[in-house]
């Protein structure tokens, strides 16, 4: 789950890579990344922090202030897929 600095849910997916892709496109077109040390990385298309793979490898779980994003957070929750499927199936049945 992806949240902004106010705790507002922006995106959710089962894949961390897809979440990072969404974050990349969101930050490139809307609000830039802001690092914990106050720095704002330059927007270079598909380079540095604005590359989903680089973000996942170098910025997602980093503990240094210059490489930690302060205005977005990604939280990972364990879910039981069978419970989720039963929940989704129940919602489909209610719609009919």
pLDDT in tens, 33-75: 999 899 999 988 888 888 878 888 888 777 787 788 889 988 8
In this prediction, residue 25 has a pLDDT band, given cuts at 50, 70 and 90, of confident
Measure the CA–CA gap between 9 and 2, rounded to whole angstroms.
Answer: 6
Structure tokens given for 30:
């809307």
Measure the CA–CA gap between 69 and 40, rounded to whole angstroms.
Answer: 9
Q: Are 3 and 72 in contact (CB under 8 A)?
A: yes
Predicted local distance difference test score (pLDDT) of residue 96: 58
Measure the CA–CA gap between 94 and 96, rounded to whole angstroms.
Answer: 6
Measure the CA–CA gap between 86 and 10, rounded to whole angstroms.
Answer: 25
């Amino acid at each position: 789950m992806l949240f902004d600095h106010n705790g507002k849910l922006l995106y959710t997916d089962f894949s961390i890579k897809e979440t990072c892709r969404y974050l990349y496109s969101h930050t490139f077109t809307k609000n830039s990344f802001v690092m914990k040390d106050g720095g704002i990385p330059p927007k270079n298309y598909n380079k540095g922090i604005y590359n989903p793979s680089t973000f996942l490898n170098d910025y997602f779980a980093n503990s240094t202030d210059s490489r930690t994003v302060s205005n977005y957070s990604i939280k990972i929750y364990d879910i039981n897929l069978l419970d989720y499927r039963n929940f989704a199936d129940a919602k489909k049945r209610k719609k009919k």
